[in-house]
Every structure is written in C-alpha cells, then in structure tokens.
Amino acid sequence: MLDIRWRAGLFVCALSAICVFLWLISSLVTALLVFSISLLIYLASHIVWLYQLHRWLKTPVLQKIPEGSGIWEDVYSALLKYERKNTLKQAALNSALERFTITANAIPDGLVILSTTNHIEWCTKHAESQLDLDLSTDINLPIVNLVRNSDFIAYLYSESYREPFKLKHSRNTEATLEIWLIPLATGQKLLISRDVTQIEKVDSMRRDFIANVSHELRTPLTVVSGFIETLSDMDGVIPISIRNYFDMMQEQTTRMRRLIEDLLTLSLIESNTQPPEDRPIEMASLINMMLNDAKALSQGKHKISVETMSNLNLVGAVDELQSALSNLVSNAIRYTPEGGEIHLSWQLRNEQAVFSVRDNGIGIEQKHIDRLTERFYRVDRSRSRKTGGTGLGLSIVKHILTRHQAKLEIVSELGAGSTFSAIFSKARTLQK
C-alpha cells in the first residue's frame, strides 16, 4: 500500500492532469472551476473525518473507532493498533496490581506505605483492622492523626527503628501490636504491624511461672538452710567424718538461694512495663559505695582504682542502676585472678555518659561476647559456679540498661582482660 504522502501527491497530480485536459478541450474557466470544486470536496471530506476523530477522542472506546476511507482509513487503523496495544498493556498492569494486592492482603501482618511526610499512601486489609484505618477515607491523611498514641508518634519521629515498638490496640486493649518501621530508598516508609497478643500472653505466663516457682521455693529453702546451719553449729552432734557433707549442703543451698533471688529479680524487671522511677543520682557517692563493696569482695587480692567525673550525674532508678553497675564490678573481681588490676571509670564520651569497668583478668573469646547477656550463658560453667555465679547477672544488667535506654558494650581479649561499659544517652545525664 502507498504511503499517505504519495497518495495525496497522486491525487493532486491526477486532478491537475484532468484540469489541463479540460483546459485544452474546453476553456480555462471550466478547468479552474472543476479544480476548485474538487479541492473543496476533498477538503470537506477531511473536515468530516477530522470531526469524527475529535468526537471519538472525547470517549475513546476501542470498539467505536471510526473506519474511515482513503488516507483516513490508514490513520484509524494505526490508531486502532495503538489502542489495542495500550489496552493489552493496561490489562497486564491491572492483573499484576491485582495479584500484588491479593498477595499483600493475604499476609497476616498489616502493611502501610507512608509518604515522606508520614501521610498514608496505601495499606492492606489487616493494617486497616489492626490500626483502625479505612483506606477509602484515610488515604493521604497523616498517620499521626489516626494512630493517636504519643509513644507511637515519638517512635515515628525518632528516626531510629532498630527495635520494634509495642502498641496496644486502640479498641481492644487486650491486644498488643508490634510495629516495625522500615525506611525505603524513596524516602517513604513501610510500616509493618504484627499482632503479638498470643506471644505476649505466653511470655507473660512464662514470667509468672518463673516468678511463682522461685517465690514458692524460697521459703522451704530458707527452712532447709536454717536447719543445716543449726545442725552444723551443734558441736558434737555431727560426727567429724560427715561434717564435710554439711558444709557442701550449706554451699549448695546458698547457691540455690542466689539463683532464686536472681530469677525473681529478672522476672520482676521483665514484667515491669512501667518506666523506671526517674530520680537524679549522685554518681560520685554511688561509685564510692561500689568501690567499698568491691574492696570487701576482693579481700585485698586486687588493685582497684577509680576515676570519676565529679560533676556528671545520672537520671534513673537508683536501686536498679546500682544493682546493674555493681554486677559489672563484681564480675571483674570474680574473673580476675589474684594480683590483677580493676579500674572503674565514669566519664563523658561523645556527649554520652559511660560507666566502665576494666580488668586484666581472664578475658573472653570473641565468639562468646554476643551471647553473654543470654540467660544462663557462661563461658566456663565450673569457673562461674566456683565464684558463686548464677549465669543471670549480665541478663539482669542488660534488662536494667534497656529500661534506661542505655546499652552494654563489651570489649575483651582472651587472656588480656575485659572492659564492660554501660553507655547512657545525653537525655539521661545531668551535668552541674
């Protein structure tokens, strides 16, 4: 088939030839008249097709595309081809979008996409029910207007999303949601909400069980320990040959008592959802107290030194922090052989207050370091037991520090010694 330009040219040539022929056999006037009328008819036909195209473009339905004739047949058939391709592409896109939406809605966690300004762009059905949203009306609204929880808002603006955030369901207060925020490369955020009510319940049952068992065991153990002590003190009642056994029994009951006390402390801290009771803590006197306790525990077997920034103080629960920090000190003494050195320091590091305990004791192999705060994780079980350890000390330390938004840093080298540091954020420090 000829190109549109050729066909238009051919028409003009043919018309001109006819008119020249008419001029020759008739007159110039007749020839010009025929030429003008033909051109007018040609123009009118184009105007009609143009009008039809304009009308179709207003509601471009594939089935209603005009057929056209001549040049316009080509134009409409090209348009038809283009529209068909477009419709197929659109259908493929729609089906991909539908598959994505069905899959996303099948995920039991709720998903919400937030814009760079934290407005809701899209969310799944589970997110709607978990966060009490309605995409049809809440789209483009700021999420802070819909999830009205001050802690959630603080978490959203904190820009620090390494840990998930626990949120109580707005209507069902029994339900707990775990919220994760993931920043996307585009500046948007993906919010994932997970219903952890069941996990929370099991966890709380586990904590209650440990607390109850420990509590129940405390009384009989105190009685047994009391009897053993009384019997041991009664001269002549116990034959010398079995006195040793009584000492061993006493040692074991003391260990059990320590274990129960630590279990109770841990479950108490774990189940405490209230933030710590914040009070200013005079660190110089607290460290001095810890130094005296350390000296008593060491019984002169170690060289203990202290370096304190006297005008630097903390805000927090004094009992909890004293228990955590003295645990680090007592560990240093227990894991440093006689003659070793222990250094306590309380300093500012990059605007953060840091309490460090450095020793030149046995040290820890790198592979153990990440696991030290796990319950009952001990590098050397028998050594821990011999020094009166329960394997729960660093777990308690970590929990207390987490409650105070602080972290535990452990640097150690096997055979060279260790440094345990509690690092407190600027918000927790007080400087005179």
Q: What residues line the site for ligand ADP (CB under 6 A)?
A: 331-332, 335, 359, 361-362, 364, 372, 377-380, 384, 389-395, 418
Q: Is 70 exposed, middle or buried (0-12, 13-18, 19+ CB in 10 A)?
A: middle
**In the complex, minimum distance from the CB of residue 257 to ligand ADP, in angstroms, rounded to a whole number:** 14
**In the complex, minimum distance from the CB of residue 363 to ligand ADP, in angstroms, rounded to a whole number:** 6
**In the complex, minimum distance from the CB of residue 340 to ligand ADP, in angstroms, rounded to a whole number:** 10
> What radius of gyration, in Å, describes the C-alpha atoms of the chain?
42
**In the complex, minimum distance from the CB of residue 335 to ligand ADP, in angstroms, rounded to a whole number:** 3
**In the complex, minimum distance from the CB of residue 264 to ligand ADP, in angstroms, rounded to a whole number:** 15
Nearer to ligand ADP, 193 or 345 (CB): 345
Cβ–Cβ < 8 Å for 417, 364: no
Question: How many Cα atoms are found within 13 Å in the side-chain-facing hemisphere of 421?
Answer: 17
Nearer to ligand ADP, 253 or 384 (CB): 384
**In the complex, minimum distance from the CB of residue 305 to ligand ADP, in angstroms, rounded to a whole number:** 16
Residue 128: partners with Cβ closer than 8 Å, 6 or more residues away: 110, 134, 135
Task: Quickly list H helices, 27-124.
Answer: 28-58, 71-106
Nearer to ligand ADP, 165 or 335 (CB): 335
**How does DSSP classify residue 417?**
E
Nearer to ligand ADP, 228 or 364 (CB): 364
**In the complex, minimum distance from the CB of residue 343 to ligand ADP, in angstroms, rounded to a whole number:** 12
Rounded distance between C-alpha atoms, residue 119 and residue 117, angstroms: 6
**How does DSSP classify residue 426?**
G
Nearer to ligand ADP, 124 or 418 (CB): 418
**How does DSSP classify residue 388?**
T
**In the complex, minimum distance from the CB of residue 128 to ligand ADP, in angstroms, rounded to a whole number:** 44
Nearer to ligand ADP, 28 or 414 (CB): 414
Burial 122-131 (b: 16+ CB within 10 A, else e): ebbbbbbebb
Residue found by looking up tokens 């994505």 in the block: 100
Nearer to ligand ADP, 7 or 383 (CB): 383
Rounded distance between C-alpha atoms, residue 79 and residue 76, angstroms: 5
Query: DSSP labels for 271-332?
Result: H--SPP--EEE-HHHHHHHHHHHHHHHHTTSSEEEEEE-TTEEEEE-HHHHHHHHHHHHHHH
Nearer to ligand ADP, 191 or 379 (CB): 379
Nearer to ligand ADP, 31 or 332 (CB): 332
**In the complex, minimum distance from the CB of residue 258 to ligand ADP, in angstroms, rounded to a whole number:** 9
Closest of 320, 313, 314, 312 to residue 276, by C-alpha: 320
- Whole-number Cα distances in Å, 355 to 107, 134, 313, 326, 431: 45, 49, 11, 11, 15
**In the complex, minimum distance from the CB of residue 372 to ligand ADP, in angstroms, rounded to a whole number:** 4
Nearer to ligand ADP, 342 or 406 (CB): 342
Query: How far is C-alpha 108 from the geometric centre of its chain's CA atoms?
Result: 17
Residue found by looking up tokens 């316009």 in the block: 72
**How does DSSP classify residue 427?**
G
Phi, psi of 426 (to 5 degrees): -60, -35
Question: How many Cα atoms are found within 13 Å in the side-chain-facing hemisphere of 362?
Answer: 14
Rounded distance between C-alpha atoms, residue 277 and residue 54, angstroms: 75
Nearer to ligand ADP, 334 or 428 (CB): 334
Rounded distance between C-alpha atoms, residue 389 and residue 331, angstroms: 9
**In the complex, minimum distance from the CB of residue 263 to ligand ADP, in angstroms, rounded to a whole number:** 12
Total number of residues shown for the chain: 432
